[in-house]
Amino acid sequence: MSNPRVARLMEDLFQAINGLVEKHQVTHEEYRAAVAFVNEAAEKGETMLLFDAMLESDIVAANSVESRGTPRQVLGPYYLEDAPWIEDGQLAKPEEEGERLLLSGTVRDVDGSPISGAVLDFWQADAKGRYGAFDLPPRTNMNLRGRMHSGEDGRYALHTVVPAPYTIPHKGPTGRLLEALGRHPWRPAHLHLLATHDGYKPLITQIYFKGDQYIESDAVRAARNDLAFDLQDEGDHKRIDFEVVLEDAV
């Protein structure tokens, strides 16, 4: 059964590739190297990383045109479903190392009305740039991953630690490709958020820190200055106010 959308996209995709082959007179050797590269990425479990790093930002941008909500960001390869529900917004355990951060604000619709009962699902690297489950085994390690609801007045408060910049895995094919392109593997420090509520479009975003040296050269080309915030000094902790704006579902 023919699917017109698939047919259209695949025709255009191969037209672009065929054009590129012609333009650069791609050799048979180069062709074989390309196939071997894709194969290696798959064998090393890097398919998701490779596509996320090279393409996901563009997918997000293409789908954010005319958005009135909080700017959207890539999901990235480190989201896990079923993160624990956290009590009192405590994402970081007392023994977690790093500078304390209070991230708080209000969840609103595009007209500014508060949205209570939104699910806020946060995940982040630790103060050494390590993700639970991926950099910190075992596979079930839910460190610095947690879900909460926005309150009556749409407000939320997350108690956590400031994450560190992070290199995407660069010892395999994805890293080799970045290097060949003259790109480094660093992502600026960031927190991830997936915010959902019935009747609204799910929002996937990230929060960055002003002054981070990698904002302008993010390995996955996702970071943007309008999502970079000052870490306000509150003595024993830092603070960021972050408003979450959800668009109506269509």
Q: Which residues bind ligand DHB (CB under 6 A)?
A: 49, 52-53, 56, 74, 76-78, 166, 168, 187, 220
Binding-site size for Fe ion (CB under 5 A) equals 1
168 binds, among ligand DHB, Fe ion, none (CB under 5 to 8 A by kind): ligand DHB
C-alpha distances in angstroms, 133 versus 77, 116, 124, 155, 229? 12, 30, 11, 29, 27
Of 177 and 231, nearer to ligand DHB (C-beta) is 177
Q: Is 165 in the site for Fe ion (CB under 5 A)?
A: no
Contact 165, 189 (CB under 8 A): yes
247 binds, among Fe ion, ligand DHB, none (CB under 5 to 8 A by kind): none
52 binds, among ligand DHB, Fe ion, none (CB under 5 to 8 A by kind): ligand DHB
53 binds, among ligand DHB, Fe ion, none (CB under 5 to 8 A by kind): ligand DHB
To the nearest whole angstrom, how small is the minimum distance from the Cβ of residue 107 to ligand DHB?
22
Q: How many CB atoms lie within 10 A of CB 224?
A: 16
To the nearest whole angstrom, how small is the minimum distance from the Cβ of residue 147 to ligand DHB?
18
Question: Which residues make Cβ contacts (< 8 Å) with residue 49, sequence separation at least 6?
Answer: 41, 77, 168, 169, 174
Of 115 and 204, nearer to Fe ion (C-beta) is 204
- To which residue do tokens 């509520």 refer? 197
Alpha carbons 40 and 42: distance in angstroms, whole number? 5
Alpha carbons 157 and 140: distance in angstroms, whole number? 25
Whose CA is closest to 63, among 48, 79, 74? 74
Of 49 and 215, nearer to ligand DHB (C-beta) is 49
Of all residues in this chain, which one has the CB nearest to Fe ion in the complex?
A: 76
Of 101 and 220, nearer to ligand DHB (C-beta) is 220
Q: Could you give the string, one character per residue 58-77, with x where binding to Fe ion holds by CB under 5 A and - elsewhere? A: ------------------x-
194 binds, among Fe ion, ligand DHB, none (CB under 5 to 8 A by kind): none
Q: Could you give the string, one character per residue 76-95, with x where binding to Fe ion holds by CB under 5 A and - elsewhere? A: x-------------------
Residue 197 Rama label (left phi>0; alpha psi -120 to 50; beta): beta
Contact 200, 184 (CB under 8 A): no
Cα 224 to chain centroid distance, Å, stands at 12
Of all residues in this chain, which one has the CB nearest to ligand DHB in the complex?
A: 76
Single-letter residue type at 236: D
Would you tell me which residues interact with Fe ion (CB under 5 A)?
76
